[in-house]
Structure 1
């Protein structure tokens, strides 16, 4: 399945996708046509393969009950029940202009949605600042020493853009990841924890993403995102890149990352560090998020604030 979104204006469009809870409709005898999801699978694909992304998961189960015998010579039967499971697919879209500025004020008629080259109906459209469940994945490895202060400031600027109903958790990592603050709406608690952060050890980036994805299963909001702040490639994880990419692919979580990468002119990079920008960029693109590569740590607070604003101005 390929999903494509076209904006009727000359701007860049980036999108992610997540699904809502399935709605079951129990029908007896007659089944009316119900158009609820904007994407429908063709008949041949009624049973999708495991782990294959689908626009709308439609499972039709026919529960035919055997005739029961009543009085002699009389056969009674109950009408067959058809159970139809529909999953509404929500697609979050970010629109930017040629200068990479967020475009607001668009309406439903500005968008067209295609699945496998077939245009689909957009049944719901919203641009409201809905609550989000957000995980901050914060690098505290030894190489972050001189960058910790600006990284803390970046987190503080990001929290300033929060909706009062947002919830956050904090994963800090060096040799191994640790969930230091579980889900909370108290951003002061997260900032207080970051204040006492010290840099040491190696970098278990992949393990920290895995832990964050696991914690995100406890989220209370349908919209979910991770913000990763790190300066280098992985050199201490048990999980592989392939395992993390598969886990991310199956989750409904946008990933934004700020990669603090010093230029080659300043110092040489290890193979892991050289590969890190590509990894973070791929995770961002795969989930409808984005990676920001930074060489000057002074830019960190502004970029974090920009990500926060971007999350507040998505079309759904």
Structure 2
């Protein structure tokens, strides 16, 4: 009997590996290699490339608002508007009203000597504007410019944090140690440097709606950048520039200076889809200016299209948007055709 049991145990031990091997072939363990196949691999098709096909789609995004004699129009649809790029009509793919799209706001505060008597107005109205506009999904930053360009508050969605930084801003007319633009001995008001840095360094890589609000008298002295390069930087970042012209005209009269910043600011705002609001040194008008900007942000549309000109050669393409008779469209005047540029 013992010999029979021993023989049976020996037989089971001999069969077990074969059963395990058979089981492994029928049901491979999860994550393991697939079962072997006797089928020969498929032959490559002659002339067929096996490399991964990469498709790049470059959408041009245009934010704009539309007004008629009764105010902003908020019920437009895709078929109501037409977009021309270099006079060639484009096919609009997406068309939405962007009330809730995340918003990135850069506040640029002029703290040069000419703003001595109006800075408190700017601080109060600017803080109220951000308090009304910013939501938890939005972000803002604050830059001051005078003989230097300084980042007073980096990206935050806290109006209080921006307000604290704004309240600490002060007039700077003394000799500086240099600006972040590289000027070794800056003098004057580095307005264009501030716009360039805000657009190129802060906004260009951001998505969604982007605006710059300048509180300034429009005068620039000493910038390395120019009106042209500052405007180009804003256009490449797809940033809308609003200029609130606020000036202590008495400052100019006392020093025998000529106030001439309005014309350049008109061009900067117009080319980027924004506008200039002249408030002088009137606190009530300043508050109304911020209210107007807020209204525009709530009534903006976003239109997207793939340009018929597929060459992304860095050239400037002019844009013209129309939305019916007796309407006025406020939008940027063009864009730079840069491939895979989030700023388009």
TM-score by length of 1: 0.68
Q: 1:112 to 1:218 in 2, by over 3 A?
A: closer
Structure with more contact order per residue of length (Cα contacts < 8 Å, sep ≥ 6): 2
Change (3 A) 1:78 1:144: same
Question: Taking structure 1 as reference, are residues 161 and 246 closer, same or farther at Cα in structure 2, changes over 3 Å only?
Answer: closer
Write the deviation string for residues 167-217 of structure 1: whole angstroms up to 9, x where unpaired.
Answer: 011101111110111111111100111112222314211111122113324
Matched, 1:108 2:78: yes
The residue that corresponds to 1:59 in the other structure is none
Superposed CA offset, 1:201-259 (max 9, x none): 14211111122113324754322111110124011322233332332343311111101
Residue in 2 aligned with 1:140?
111
**Shift, 1:265, TM fit:** 12
Residues 1:203 and 2:189 aligned together:
yes
CA-CA distance at 1:90 after TM superposition: 1.3
Q: What is the aligned counterpart of 1:168 among 140, 161, 168?
A: 140
Correspondence for 1:212: 198
Contact 2:134 / 2:157 at 8 angstroms: preserved in 1?
no
Greater radius of gyration (CA): 2
- State the partner residue of 1:21: none
The residue number in structure 2 matching 1:88 is 59
Q: When you count helix as a share of all residues, which structure comes out higher? A: 2
**Equivalent residues in 2 for 1:1-316, closer than 5 Å:** 77-80=46-49, 83-98=54-69, 101-129=71-99, 130-159=101-130, 160-201=132-173, 202-217=188-203, 220-261=206-247, 267=253, 270-271=257-258, 273-274=259-260, 276-298=261-283, 299-316=285-302
- Cα distance between partner residues in 2 of 1:277 and 1:259: 7
Number of the residue aligned with 1:16: none
In the TM superposition, what is the alpha-carbon distance from 1:117 to its structure 2 partner? 3.8
Change (3 A) 1:311 1:79: same
> Aligned in 2, Cα 1:250/1:232: closer, same or farther, shift over 3 Å?
closer
Corresponding residue number in structure 2 for 1:46? none
More strand by share: 1
CA contact (8 A) 1:167 1:183 kept: yes
CA contact (8 A) 1:150 1:301 kept: no
- Please, what is the CA RMSD of the aligned residues? 2.6
User: How many residue pairs get matched?
Assistant: 240
SS of aligned partner of 1:126: strand
- Give the 3-state SS of the residue equivalent to 1:294 in structure 2: strand
Moved more, 86-95 or 152-161: 152-161
Alpha-carbon distance between aligned partners in 2 of 1:314 and 1:146, rounded to the nearest angstrom: 34
Q: Is the 8 A contact 2:192 2:226 kept in 1?
A: yes
Matches of 1:257 and 1:172, distance apart in 2: 14
Aligned counterpart, 1:44: none
Taking structure 1 as reference, are residues 294 and 285 closer, same or farther at Cα in structure 2, changes over 3 Å only?
Answer: same
Compared with structure 1, are the counterparts of its residues 196 and 109 closer, same or farther at alpha carbon in structure 2 (3 Å cutoff)? same
Matched position secondary structure for 1:203:
coil
